[in-house]
Structure 1
Amino acid sequence: MDRGDFLASLTAGGLAGMCVDLVLFPLDTVKTRLQSPQGFKKAGGFHGIYAGVPSTAVGSFPNAAAFFVTYECMKTVLHTDASPYFGPVTHMLAASLGEVVACLIRVPSEVVKQRAQVSPTSSTLRILSNTVCEEGILGLYRGYKSTVLREIPFSVVQFPLWESLKDLWSWKQGHVVDSWQSAVCGAFAGGFAAAVTTPLDVAKTRIMLAKTGSKTATGNVLPALYGVWRTQGVPGLFAGVVPRMSAISLGGFIFLGTYDKIRRLLL
């Protein structure tokens, strides 16, 4: 990847990430409260729907920028065009590594954001200071493993599907897809990936919101999933699936469409 590609991916990814996270923040709050152990109403209901937004505002740009720089770099290194059959595998590997890197930035922001979303009367700064005082810096990375285990399957579904839909649309019309068409492909890919990975998202939310010292707070995904299934059954594993699908479908449209448009303008 040359310097121009690097800067274009960094800028386009960062701006796209900020745009989608801030626009769709209320839906994300609703989803988090539906998945929280205390239930939607006790977590705040529709009150303080923007609680935690400062954490998202700070973390969105570097998080998305890190993902797309890694994603585009790995696509170049792995030579996507070497074989038409290797393309989807390349996208899966590139997206997976991108998520591992991006989660180093995303998880601390996500921990503070989600705790603020279910405690709308507490400020983001207070939640940040309490987390660091009670759990240390590592407390900000509680749920890193569960977040990565959610994001990798999500990206393994979303990005190859997004790239394949763009290729199919491009082949049918005889030229490269426009940015709005890329956005439509992103919406379909994101919505489908969101639906199938919702149980992992529920586990991640429970781990991040668990009381310090509890078994769930250790970060083990399978016990967290089992605990939800035992108490709430299959519906509990898919709590928040509708707002999650809605947010990520719309998010995929905005995120991938904006990324594609800005990157084309910069190159």
Structure 2
Amino acid sequence: LALQGGGCAGVCVDLTLFPLDTIKTRLQSQQGFHQAGGFRGIYAGVPSAAVGSFPNAAAFFATYECTKSLLGTGGALAAPHMAPVTHMVAASLGETVACLIRVPTEVVKQRTQACPSSSTYNMLLATLREEGARGLYRGYWSTVLREIPFSLVQFPLWEYLKTLWSWKQGHTLHSWQSAVCGAFAGAVAAFVTTPLDVAKTRIMLAKAGTATASGNIPLVLYDVWRSRGLSGLFAGSIPRIAFISVGGFIFLGAYDKVRRTLQ
């Protein structure tokens, strides 16, 4: 159930909002927005997103639900007041597993977005030729380190808002209400984690062999801070917040709806 619900929701979000993601990547790239393509070829890299979308979302939700039910069946974490901890652990594990699928598709997608004259397929071949399979996992840890704090904010906040709202109105939430909570939780998490997203983008786009490509996150963040200040660290935050809050609305709403329908 989690696989189908999460997978369908993921595909809807990624493909509908793809232009926002392209704009965000170009704003964060080292060469700057216009050099990276500006508003041209806004769907560059979409095949990569389309291929990775379903398995990535499905892997996340399967791990999330499985961990949540395992932790909730007895032991210290089964107590109601421990629910946020359970959600945090489950979401973190979910992200770590999903990143095994997400990172290779993200590397190819972002490189194509920042170089719209190349196709997704050519970018994949070029990456494999220059760096081998390891090149596809460049930025794995920076992605995990972006996703875990993101999940630690988004999921407990989502579950908390749902609990609060259903308590206020005296009955279970409708799917659209669950989606509104998801949108709000996503927007907050997106803003807070933008600097980590900037670091991840820089690491994935960097030329092989450079200091940035080695994946040292504090070093990359310091470099961005030095050259572009605070605005550099929060580059692309508006399209990112828009993508994730609308995405959170569709994704968590559709997930909730599909899960209920299948039950």
Q: What is the TM-score normalised by the length of structure 1?
A: 0.96
State the partner residue of 1:228: 224
* Cα distance in 1 for residues equivalent to 2:232 and 2:93: 30
State the partner residue of 2:145: 149
Matched, 1:187 2:202: no
Structure 1: 5+ residue stretches without partners: 1-7
**What does the per-residue CA deviation read over 1:96-125, in whole Å, with 9 as the maximum and x for residues that have no partner?**
000000000000000000000011110000
**What does the per-residue CA deviation read over 1:39-89, in whole Å, with 9 as the maximum and x for residues that have no partner?**
000100000000000000000000000000000001100108832210000
- RMSD after superposition: 0.9
State the partner residue of 1:22: 15
Residue 75 of structure 1, aligned match among 68, 71, 74: 68
* Cα distance in 1 for residues equivalent to 2:63 and 2:151: 13
Aligned residues: 260
* Cα distance in 1 for residues equivalent to 2:58 and 2:171: 28
State the partner residue of 1:3: none
Residue 139 of structure 1, aligned match among 135, 160, 163: 135
1:79 is matched by which residue type in structure 2?
G
Residue 207 of structure 1, aligned match among 173, 185, 203: 203
SS in 2 for 1:136: helix
1:35 is matched by which residue type in structure 2?
Q
State the partner residue of 1:62: 55
State the partner residue of 2:30: 37
* Cα distance in 1 for residues equivalent to 2:246 and 2:47: 21
State the partner residue of 1:238: 234
* Cα distance in 1 for residues equivalent to 2:193 and 2:80: 27
Matched, 1:84 2:80: yes
* Cα distance in 2 for residues equivalent to 1:44 and 1:262: 38
**What does the per-residue CA deviation read over 1:211-267, in whole Å, with 9 as the maximum and x for residues that have no partner?**
010000011111111110111111100001111111111010011001111111111
1:261 is matched by which residue type in structure 2?
K
**What does the per-residue CA deviation read over 1:173-202, in whole Å, with 9 as the maximum and x for residues that have no partner?**
111111000000000000000000000000
State the partner residue of 1:113: 109
Structure 1 stretches (4+) deviating beyond 4 angstroms?
Answer: none
Matched, 1:11 2:7: no
**What does the per-residue CA deviation read over 1:138-194, in whole Å, with 9 as the maximum and x for residues that have no partner?**
100000000000000000000000000001111111111110000000000000000
State the partner residue of 2:194: 198
1:55 is matched by which residue type in structure 2?
S
1:205 is matched by which residue type in structure 2?
T
Structure 2: 5+ residue stretches without partners: none
SS in 2 for 1:78: helix
SS in 2 for 1:214: coil
Q: What is the TM-score normalised by the length of structure 2?
A: 0.98
State the partner residue of 2:120: 124
* Cα distance in 2 for residues equivalent to 1:130 and 1:117: 15
* Cα distance in 1 for residues equivalent to 2:170 and 2:78: 21
2:20 is matched by which residue type in structure 1?
L
